[in-house]
Amino acid sequence: MRNKLFTIAVLLCVVFFSCKKKDSDSPSGSNKTTLLTQSSWKFNNAGIDPNKDGNIDTDISGFVSDCLKDNTVSFSSSNNSGTMDEGASKCNTSDPQSVPFTWAFTNSETKINITGNVIAGKGGEYKINSLTSTSFSLSKDTTISPFGQTTIVVNLKH
């Protein structure tokens, strides 16, 4: 009888501990909103993507003004609001230091719609190429002189 009780107790322990929820490799709540809002984003690089695969085919970072490269963009989950900060240098001294904007995921969180011209001087809907804890890659069909109508990729980092 004692062996049966011991065996049952061991089996119950095995079942109880084997049913424990598996710890995730990612932190709790690491969804796209959490990844987007965890800290400010700054310019990493930009380029042209004529084949629309989400990768830069022609780097145009050298054409981006330094006054844009030092800007930061902060997204907040509170009311899907955000702030673009001009950084240490402004392209136009009369521009405000910070500009509020709103944002929303669209198309099952594969795109993001941003009001105002806060990402590379453009607003509107962007395709999300990737979003991780350290990088955010966006693309948008636009017209850029001298390239004409094309897709631009903007990569941000923490």
- DSSP assigned state of 146: T
* Three-state DSSP class for residue 51: coil
* Residue-level pLDDT, tens digit, the chain, 158 residues: 544 443 343 333 333 334 444 443 444 444 999 999 999 999 999 999 999 999 999 999 999 999 999 999 999 999 999 999 999 999 999 999 999 999 999 999 999 999 988 887 788 999 999 999 999 999 999 987 777 899 999 999 99
Predicted structure pTM score = 0.78
Q: Distance between CA 142 and CA 151 in Å, rounded?
A: 6
Q: Which CATH code is given to the segment(s) 32-139+152-157?
A: 2.40.128.270
Residue 128: C-alpha distances to residues 66, 93, 113, 135 (Å): 24, 32, 10, 11
Q: Distance between CA 73 and CA 101 in Å, rounded?
A: 10
* Three-state DSSP class for residue 38: coil
Q: Which two tokens stand for residue 80?
A: 């899907």
Q: Map out the domains of the chain as residue ranges.
A: 32-139+152-157
Q: Distance between CA 131 and CA 31 in Å, rounded?
A: 10
